Amino acid sequence: MCKADRGAKRKATYMQVGSAARRASGKMDETLLERLKGRVTLAGGGHDEIEVEAPFTGEILGSVPWGTADDVREAVRRARAAQRLWAQTSFEERARIFMRFHDLVLERQDEVLDTLQLESGKARGHAFEEVLDVAIVARYYARTAKGHLRPRRRQGAFPLLTSTREYHHPKGVAGFIVPWNYPLTLAVTDAIPALMAGNAAVVKPDAQTPFSALWAAAILEEAGLPRDLFGIVTGRGAELGAPLIETVDFLMFTGSTATGRTVAAQAAKRLIDYSMELGGKNAMLVLEDADLEKAAEGAVRACFSNVGQLCISIERLFVHDSLFDRFAERFAEKTRALRLGGTLDYSAQMGSLVSRKQLDTVERHVQDAVEKGAAVLTGGRPRPDLGPYFYEPTILTGTTAEMTLFAEETFGPVVSLQRFSSVDEAVEKANDSPYGLNFSVWTGDEARGKKLATRLEAGTVNVNEAYAAAWGSTDAPMGGFKDSGVGRRHGAHGIQKYTESQTVAVQRLLPAAPPPGMGAERYARIATAALKVLSRLPGLK
C-alpha cells in the first residue's frame, strides 16, 4: 500500500496501535516514528509513502518513504565517503562503539521488542531472540575482529628465502537485502562484521518491516557510529535491489532461493562477491533412544518458533517406528497447549503470520495436502478471532510426494510427521531435498548423534536441540548446502568475506628464478632435487 487517501484506515496511527506498548515502556509513540523515518537516506525531492501494516490488527502502523534508485545511489555515495575515514580507525575504536551498541540494545530492549512485535506480528519471546542475537554478535565481533583480520605469516615459496604475509583490506561498501521475518537481527548482525572490517553498509529492509532496521540505525549512531556509515533506503525490493547491486562492492542477501538466483546473476555481471542464506525444507530426526519428553518439547520450538517463519525451522519430522505413536500423541498435546495471541508481553507463545500472502500460502499448502490424503493431527485452521493472519500450529501425517508441501517450503506453522524404521532410511529421507540449511537430531547417545549429523547434508545440524545451539555458536560458520545458500555468516568466514585478501611476498638473497649464469636445464635439475628433499622435511606444507 502506498500514499493515498485511505480514509479511516489511514487514521489508525502507530500511536493508537501501540498504546499498550506505551503503557509498558513509555517510549512507543509517533515522535519515535518520525525520528526513525528521519534515518532513511533520501536523494531529495518529494517521495510517496509506503504504509506498513500491523499484522496483529491489519491496521496501518505507520509509513516510510518509497525509495528510488536515486536514493540508493545517494546512500552508497555517502557511505563510500564515510568509509574512507572509517577504514583508518583502529579496531579498538570500532570495538568500543559496538560494545556500546551491545549495551544500548539490552538497555532499550522494550522499545525494540514493541517495534518488532508490532511490525512483524511475532510473539515477544521470539522477538527477544533477535535482541539476544544482536547483542551476542556485536560482542563477538567487537572482541574477535582484530584477530580474524590480523596480518598472518604464510609459508613462502622458498624456505628462508621468501617471506610471505596475508593481509585483509575492506571491500568498501557492502549492501544488504533483508527479509521481513527477522527484521532486526538480519538488518544488523550481518552488517556488524562488515563494519568491524572497515566497510560501510547500505541496508534495504523489507517494506513490510522497516522500523526495526531504522531503530538499529538510530542506536548505532547513538553508540558513536558515523551516521552515513550505516545507510538505509526503504522501498520495494523489485525496485531497489538492482540499483543496490549495481553500486555496492559486496552483497549479502537473505531470502528465497528463487530470488537468490536472480540476485546472483545480477551480481555476477559486475563480478562482485556475494553471500546468501536462502530457503530450507529442514528435517528433524527422532531416534528410538531419544528422550520422548525432551524431543516433543524440542519439536514444538523447532517447528513453531516465529510461527514457522524461520529459514532454519523444521518442516519435516521423521520419528522411529518404535517411538512414533507415543511421540505423535505427546507432540500434538504440547502443540495444542500453545497460547496464541498478539499481546505486547510474554504471555503469548506464538504470534501471527506477517501478511495475507503468508496466510494464503499456509492455507493452500494444508488444503492441498488434506485433499490428497493427509490427516490433520492438530491445527489446520486460521484464527480470525485473534487477528486477520493468525493460523493454528499444524501437524500433518500421511504426507506424500505429490503434495505441494512435501518438497516446497511452506514458511509457516506446519510440519509433516513421518515414520522411519532404520537410521539409513531416515538419513536418505532427510537428504532427499534440494535444500540443506538446518537439521536436528534427537538421541540419547551424544556420540551417535554427532556421527549421524555428519551424514546429513545441511550446513548446521543440532543434536538434541532445535536450532538455537548452532545458530548461537557465533564462532562457527552458519549457512546452507545445496540450494540453501552460498557462503557463510558467523565466525572467521563471516567477517573475512567482507575483505579483499592480499598476499605480500618478499624475496631475499636469491631470485625465484635461475640465478645469472645458470642455464635453465641445470636450474630444473637442482630445483627437482630440492623439492624431493623438502617433501621429506617435517613441518613444511
Q: What angle do CA 217, 221, 227 make, to 5 degrees?
A: 85
Distances (CA, A) of 385 to 16, 17, 352, 382, 388: 20, 18, 12, 9, 8
Active-site residue, selected from the candidate residues 74, 111, 277, 315: 277
Q: Is the residue at 300 inside a domain?
A: yes
The reply to whether 232 and 325 lie within a common domain is no
Catalytic residue among 130, 311, 315, 392: 311
- Tell me if 536 is assigned to some domain: no
318 and 192 in a single domain? The answer is: no
478, 398: one domain: yes
CA dihedral 325, 327, 328, 329 (to 10 degrees): 90
Residue 471 within any structural domain of the chain: yes
Instruction: Please give the Cα distance from 396 to 379 (Å, whole number).
Output: 9
Domain boundary among 278, 302, 322: 278
Domain shared by 206 and 320, yes or no = no
How far is it, in rounded angstroms, from Cα 52 to Cα 207? Answer: 7
Q: Which domain holds residue 359?
A: 282-483
* 338 plus 458 within the same structural domain: yes
Q: What 3-state class would DSSP assign to 231?
A: strand
The pair phi, psi for residue 253, each rounded to 5°, is -125, 135
Question: Does 430 map to a domain?
Answer: yes
Domain boundary among 278, 303, 331: 278
Whether residues 384 and 449 share a domain: the answer is: yes
SS3 465: coil
CA separation for the pair 106, 313 (Å, rounded):
25
Contact 416, 406 (CB under 8 A): yes
The CATH code of the domain that includes 291 is 3.40.309.10
Is residue 277 annotated as a catalytic residue, yes or no?
yes
Residues 292 and 340 grouped into a single domain: yes
Amino acid in position 25: S
Q: Is residue 157 part of a domain?
A: yes
Asked if residue 538 belongs to a domain, the reply is no
Please indicate whether residue 288 is annotated as part of the active site.
no
User: Do 469 and 321 reside in the same domain of the chain?
Assistant: yes
Domain end residue (candidates: 462, 483, 504):
483
256: domain CATH number is 3.40.605.10
Distance CA 34, CA 48 (A): 15
Indicate the number of domains in the chain: 2
Q: Do residue 211 and residue 73 come from a single domain?
A: yes
Residues in a beta bridge with 394: 414
pLDDT in tens, the chain (541 residues): 444 334 333 333 333 334 444 434 333 457 777 888 888 888 887 899 999 999 999 999 999 999 999 999 999 999 999 999 999 999 999 999 999 999 999 999 999 999 999 999 999 999 999 999 999 999 999 999 999 999 999 999 988 899 999 999 999 999 999 999 999 999 999 999 999 999 999 999 999 999 999 999 999 999 999 999 999 999 999 999 999 999 999 999 999 999 999 999 999 999 999 999 999 999 999 999 999 999 999 999 999 999 999 999 999 999 999 999 999 999 999 999 999 999 999 999 999 999 999 999 999 999 999 999 999 999 999 999 999 999 999 999 999 999 999 999 999 999 999 999 999 999 999 999 999 999 999 999 999 999 999 999 999 999 999 999 999 999 999 999 999 999 999 999 999 999 999 999 999 988 889 888 899 999 899 989 988 998 888 888 8
Q: Do 233 and 326 fall into the same domain?
A: no
Q: Is residue 506 part of a domain?
A: no
Write down the pTM of the prediction.
0.93
Residues 288 and 274 in one domain: no
Question: Is 7 contained in some domain?
Answer: no
Q: Is residue 477 located within the same domain as residue 352?
A: yes
